[in-house]
Chains A and B, each alone.
Chain A
Amino acid sequence: MTEDAFYARLTDVFNDTFLTDMYYGGGSLNNINAGTPDWPNVAKYFDKMNPMPDDQKQRIHRAVAREPLDLINYIVRNDRPFTEILTADYTVFTPDSAFIYGVAARFEDPNDPTELKPGVLKVTRNGKEMTYPHAGVLTSPMWLNRFPTTPTNRNRHRARKVYDQFLATDVLALASQAIDPDAGAAFANPTRDDATCAQCHITIDPIAGAFQMFDKNNQEFLLEKPTWYPEMFAPGYQFELMPTDQSATGVQWLAQKVANDPRFSLSATYKMYQALTGEEPARYPTNAAAPDYMQQLAAWETQDTFMRAVAAEFVADDHNLKTIIVKLILSPYYRGVNVANEPSEEHKAELAHVGTGRLSTPELLAKKVMATTGVRWGGTGDLLNGEYKLLYGGIDSNAITQRLTSINQLMASVAQRMAVEVSCSATAFDFTKPVEERLLFPLVEATDSPDFQESKIKANIQHLHLRMLGEDLAIDDPEIERTYDLYRETWLAGAQNIADTIEGKGSGRAGRRRTPTPARPCPTSRS
């Protein structure tokens, strides 16, 4: 958990929740430029008389967009308490975002767009400098814009997101009763005085009030003197009122309360469980009439007990997120690969959550392709993060925010096309390298034939099963034999095709190139 790839994955994981990558492709600067002079260098970004170079603009808007996710990475990379994603009285800047926000920060390499330094935002109101009341992600300009408020919403949307994202609580589920449109008609202030409305608002509105220092239209704009609505439930947390002298920094008060809530550690555990296994934690079974209800209940109780134990260890280890990851990876929920005997239907319910069998996200598959073959599908860009991202079940963090978790036919076809294009380049490219540098074919040469080098070929197939599929098989395993048969049959058919001049003999363009671009064809056939 020190490699950059780990933190790239962490970015994907938390974006699935915060969805702030909606701005990564563009738009982040527009959101902090809503007609306010808070960040003077923003004007330079938009200056048409002295246009900024496109590459600089791209670095800037990406840095601004990634700020909340970078903050999380910074906290985890530096083994800081994970509670700081809420309680940090700072945020992090790259050289580009520091420039745009006018933050004085010292970078070891000002040209490194990935270097992160902590700092604080400052704004000026009526000639007086004010420090932003940083509260981790909650005060990120991107988070505030991604989950906006309106004059009538009054931060209730944000309150709901606090529950959902940090407290593992769906406040909508609290109101299982349907709303009667006529409800509240007899009350001048129904959200407080009508029990039907108040059952939810007493939970939501106090947290909404903690965001009162932000403007109701200009999302990240810090108000000089916040005011709140006396007809709403007063700002607070659970049944504790927020001190009135905290109104200008109430979000920091809220952050401390949430971070100390036992549900916060459970929420972090749930999130990492979903990231690692691809499924949400088990839900408490509610259908007592189900024939396997007792087994479902047992499965839930077992997992719930485990989750709570992991959360407790997370807290005991000073809220180190890596502790959760280690505990989950060591558990049967991640490591389970099989059970010896076929379980009964009832036992299946007990085992429902064991093992992963997850569908890789497009981002994960792209990383796996690169890690195993040394080749990126699509050359410098990656088709799994571009053309095929949504088709393979990914999200755009904007209109499409739910990942597909079951494979469909088009997704299977994406995998097939990836396989033929990448294998075409990766194999030919691998043979251009010295044996000791090869990733795929360290034990054979391209000229080896099954007639004379069967054992070498099988040994390489064994190597490929381990490298590509993570299967550590004995040389006489039936799966090695199956793959060898496929190879031999194909080799013989290919030899015949070459003899019949149906196929070419060379390894194509990819075999002559040091940096393959798999989107282009290599050895081709004409049907």
Chain B
Amino acid sequence: MDRRSFLKIAAGTGLAVALPRHARAALPPYKGPFYVMISARGGWDPVYLCDPKPKGTFNRHYDYDPADPTAVGDIHYADIPVPANLVTDPLSLPYMMKNADFFAKYASKMVVINGLNMATNNHDRGVVTIWSGRGDGNYPNFAALVAATKAPEHPLAFISGGGYSGTGNLIPVTRLNSVASFRKLAEPNRVNPADPNNTTTYLHQDTFDRIAAAQQERLAAFKAKQNLPKIEAAAGQLYLARGNLDLLSSVALPDTLIDLPNEMGDLERMAQQTQLAMAAFTAGLAVGVNLEIGGFDTHANHDTVQVRQLAKLNWGIDYVMSQAAMAGIDSNLVVMVGSDFGRGKGYNGMDAGSGKDHWPVSSAMFLSGNPGLIGGGGRVIGATTEAEQLPIGIDPDTLELDESEDGVVLTAPHVHLALRQLAGVAESPAAKKFGIITDMLPLFG
């Protein structure tokens, strides 16, 4: 089948067009920038992270003086200790990172957005909003939007290890969860891909290829005769999915995935997803990935659970950056960290076991090994009031705080419009299909 015929078959699938192996001359590896979206699921508390407040209604855990803040450069942080009794297994301690250590290491590579009005207190809506820029529609995750625009034909273009995986039907979602399973799928005809010395196959490779070609021919014939749009689209999606299977074997996976203590299971999953994602990035087959760590919905025991989860999140972000550095892609990487919404305003009780409820004002953090990608590191945009934890507006040109009526309160649509600009996809057909109507703010330069 020639390229024109293939493209005709692919048309109408609703998905981006991928080229089967015989129709593409060579699929160039995607070389970045790569995008990692890290979801702190459940609603985090920026007051205990990057939007510190003096001890009182909102903070009963650490000392903070706005006149003499704990800060690295312009980025203020909550100087919370991470006591050993947050975990039961002493072996878990190395997998928590204090805010002080985290910001000391990354403040210069980071943009913090505070006073982000998520405009919702609902988890589902919050998750969709922070990762797509809209809460009320089937909008794609930002990483999926970029993947669909930059490298739709790459077989692992958008990987989701949790978080919001909506794609607006622009591109398929891929899940990865095991090295052994991935190896088997990268070489589906090989009996034991884990053994490099054993090249035994189920079928002779010529037979396997012959069957695969016949499957595609049969599917193409079926699709050509099919006039019902839904069935035609499904046939096209299957055709596309079979197109680049041979590329999967180019992913150099680690021999084993990281193993953390049992009580760190959520962090272990995030770290393992990080390892798999880095392998897919390095192979040039992936554009963006979702990562997630939950446990932030601390309606109770806020001072222990929220603190513990934030310390784990810090370690997880550090792991992403470290793995990216080891893979040599950290300077071509953009990491966004966010949550459903914030928590507060204050505690819902007086006792030590009380928690904080949902609060629509949140924060977001952006990191890159090359801060130029995010318009320069060491910056904080936006703020919240000390008395009410309400968002303070900013000047839309200078991004300085502007408490007058002209100040613009930051929202997720602002962030995503700027992100689209950063990634160079703002004018893409996909971005226009899922348009965001708001002021363009120079958040990332």
- The residues of A with any CB-CB pair to B shorter than 8 Å are 150-153, 172-173, 176, 178-182, 185, 217, 279, 336-343, 348, 351-359, 387-388, 390-391, 393, 399-400, 402, 404, 406-414, 416-417, 420-421, 424, 478-479, 482-483, 486, 489-490, 493-494, 497, 502-503, 521-527
B390 touches A416 (CB 8 A): no
Chain A to chain B contacts (Cβ below 8 Å), 8 pairs: A150-B300, A338-B227, A357-B231, A409-B241, A412-B245, A413-B248, A417-B189, A527-B205
Q: Say whether B292 faces chain A, with CB atoms less than 8 Å apart.
A: yes
Q: With A and B bound together, what is the CA distance between A293 and B357 in angstroms?
A: 42
Q: With A and B bound together, what is the CA distance between A351 and B186 in angstroms?
A: 37
| Stretch from B117-125, B331-339, B371-379 that touches the partner | B117-125
Using CB atoms, name the residue of chain B closest to A508.
B202
B391 touches A181 (CB 8 A): yes
| Stretch from B96-104, B211-219, B417-425 that touches the partner | B211-219
Kindly provide the distance from the CB of A327 to the nearest chain B CB, expressed in whole angstroms. Answer: 19
| Binary CB contact string for chain B from 158 to 200 against chain A (1 if under 8 A, 0 otherwise) | 0000100100010011111110011011101101000000011
B360 touches A410 (CB 8 A): no
Q: Assuming A150-B355, A493-B210, A525-B201, what are 15 further A-B pairs, CB within 8 angstroms?
A: A152-B348, A172-B122, A182-B390, A341-B227, A348-B229, A351-B229, A354-B230, A393-B175, A407-B237, A410-B175, A414-B185, A420-B189, A420-B203, A490-B211, A525-B203
Using CB atoms, name the residue of chain A closest to B173.
A404
- The residues of B with any CB-CB pair to A shorter than 8 Å are 15, 117, 119-122, 124-125, 135-136, 155-156, 162, 165, 169, 172-178, 181-182, 184-186, 188-189, 191, 199-208, 210-212, 214, 217-218, 221, 225-235, 237-238, 241-245, 248, 269, 292, 294, 299-300, 348-349, 355, 357, 359-361, 388, 390-391
Task: Please tell me which one of the listed residues B135, B162, B185, B217 contacts residue A391 in the complex, with CB atoms under 8 A apart.
Answer: B185
Using CB atoms, name the residue of chain A closest to B232.
A357
Task: Please tell me which one of the listed residues A173, A178, A340, A343 contacts residue B120 in the complex, with CB atoms under 8 A apart.
Answer: A178
Kindly provide the distance from the CB of B43 to the nearest chain A CB, expressed in whole angstroms. Answer: 12
Q: With A and B bound together, what is the CA distance between A183 and B225 in angstroms?
A: 57
Given contacts A150-B300, A388-B181, contact A407 B227 (CB under 8 A): no
Give the most central of B186, B212, B231: most A CB within 10 Å: B231
Give the most central of A180, A336, A337, A412: most B CB within 10 Å: A412
B390 to chain A: which residues have CB within 8 Å?
A: 181-182
Q: With A and B bound together, what is the CA distance between A391 and B159 in angstroms?
A: 11
A279 to chain B: which residues have CB within 8 Å?
A: 230
Q: With A and B bound together, what is the CA distance between A354 and B125 in angstroms?
A: 30
Given contacts A338-B226, A409-B248, contact A357 B242 (CB under 8 A): no
A413 touches B231 (CB 8 A): no
Kindly provide the distance from the CB of A476 to the nearest chain B CB, expressed in whole angstroms. Answer: 16
Kindly provide the distance from the CB of B299 to the nearest chain A CB, expressed in whole angstroms. Answer: 4
Q: With A and B bound together, what is the CA distance between A482 and B219 in angstroms?
A: 12
Task: Please tell me which one of the listed residues B228, B234, B359 contacts residue A339 in the complex, with CB atoms under 8 A apart.
Answer: B228
B201 touches A178 (CB 8 A): no
B214 touches A482 (CB 8 A): yes
A524 touches B201 (CB 8 A): yes
Task: Please tell me which one of the listed residues A152, A354, A359 contacts residue B234 in the complex, with CB atoms under 8 A apart.
Answer: A359
A503 to chain B: which residues have CB within 8 Å?
A: 204
B189 touches A493 (CB 8 A): no
B184 touches A406 (CB 8 A): no
B125 to chain A: which residues have CB within 8 Å?
A: 172
A482 to chain B: which residues have CB within 8 Å?
A: 214, 217-218, 221
Q: With A and B bound together, what is the CA distance between A267 and B211 in angstroms?
A: 43
Kindly provide the distance from the CB of A403 to the nearest chain B CB, expressed in whole angstroms. Answer: 11
Q: With A and B bound together, what is the CA distance between A406 and B245 in angstroms?
A: 16
Q: With A and B bound together, what is the CA distance between A43 and B250 in angstroms?
A: 52
A390 to chain B: which residues have CB within 8 Å?
A: 175, 177
Q: With A and B bound together, what is the CA distance between A412 and B184 in angstroms?
A: 12
B200 touches A410 (CB 8 A): no
A479 to chain B: which residues have CB within 8 Å?
A: 218, 221
- 4 closest A-B pairs by beta carbon, nearest first, are A178-B119, A357-B234, A408-B172, A357-B231
Q: With A and B bound together, what is the CA distance between A424 and B117 in angstroms?
A: 57
B212 touches A490 (CB 8 A): no
B119 to chain A: which residues have CB within 8 Å?
A: 178-180
A151 touches B348 (CB 8 A): yes
Kindly provide the distance from the CB of B165 to the nearest chain A CB, expressed in whole angstroms. Answer: 7
A417 touches B201 (CB 8 A): no
Using CB atoms, name the residue of chain B closest to A332.
B228
B204 touches A391 (CB 8 A): no
B360 to chain A: which residues have CB within 8 Å?
A: 179, 181
Task: Please tell me which one of the listed residues B15, B177, B206, B242 contacts residue A406 in the complex, with CB atoms under 8 A apart.
Answer: B15
Kindly provide the distance from the CB of B371 to the nearest chain A CB, expressed in whole angstroms. Answer: 30
Kindly provide the distance from the CB of B15 to the nearest chain A CB, expressed in whole angstroms. Answer: 7
Give the most central of A176, A178, A503: most B CB within 10 Å: A178
Kindly provide the distance from the CB of B405 to the nearest chain A CB, expressed in whole angstroms. Answer: 13
B230 touches A391 (CB 8 A): no
Kindly provide the distance from the CB of A152 to the nearest chain B CB, expressed in whole angstroms. Answer: 5
Q: With A and B bound together, what is the CA distance between A478 and B217 in angstroms?
A: 12
A410 to chain B: which residues have CB within 8 Å?
A: 155-156, 174-176, 182, 185, 248
Kindly provide the distance from the CB of A375 to the nearest chain B CB, expressed in whole angstroms. Answer: 14
B181 touches A391 (CB 8 A): yes
B204 to chain A: which residues have CB within 8 Å?
A: 493-494, 497, 502-503, 525, 527
B203 to chain A: which residues have CB within 8 Å?
A: 420, 424, 525
B200 touches A358 (CB 8 A): no
Task: Please tell me which one of the listed residues B177, B233, B241 contacts residue A411 in the complex, with CB atoms under 8 A apart.
Answer: B241
A526 touches B199 (CB 8 A): yes
A525 touches B205 (CB 8 A): yes
Q: With A and B bound together, what is the CA distance between A160 and B149 in angstroms?
A: 36
B172 to chain A: which residues have CB within 8 Å?
A: 404, 406-409, 411
A388 to chain B: which residues have CB within 8 Å?
A: 181
Using CB atoms, name the residue of chain B closest to A398.
B294
B231 touches A337 (CB 8 A): yes
Q: With A and B bound together, what is the CA distance between A156 and B300 in angstroms?
A: 17
Kindly provide the distance from the CB of A221 to the nearest chain B CB, expressed in whole angstroms. Answer: 16
A416 touches B227 (CB 8 A): no
A172 touches B124 (CB 8 A): yes
A521 touches B202 (CB 8 A): yes
Q: With A and B bound together, what is the CA distance between A449 and B49 in angstroms?
A: 73
Given contacts A412-B241, A486-B210, A527-B205, contact A150 B230 (CB under 8 A): no
Using CB atoms, name the residue of chain B closest to A479.
B218
Task: Please tell me which one of the listed residues B202, B244, B388 contacts residue A421 in the complex, with CB atoms under 8 A apart.
Answer: B202
Give the most central of A393, A479, A490: most B CB within 10 Å: A490
B191 touches A524 (CB 8 A): yes
B177 touches A413 (CB 8 A): no
Task: Please tell me which one of the listed residues B185, B388, B391 contacts residue A413 in the complex, with CB atoms under 8 A apart.
Answer: B185
Kindly provide the distance from the CB of B388 to the nearest chain A CB, expressed in whole angstroms. Answer: 8
A416 touches B188 (CB 8 A): yes
Q: With A and B bound together, what is the CA distance between A489 and B207 in angstroms?
A: 9
Give the most central of B205, B207, B208, B349: most A CB within 10 Å: B207
B165 touches A527 (CB 8 A): no
Q: With A and B bound together, what is the CA distance between A411 and B174 in angstroms?
A: 8
A526 touches B200 (CB 8 A): yes
B248 touches A416 (CB 8 A): no
B212 to chain A: which residues have CB within 8 Å?
A: 416
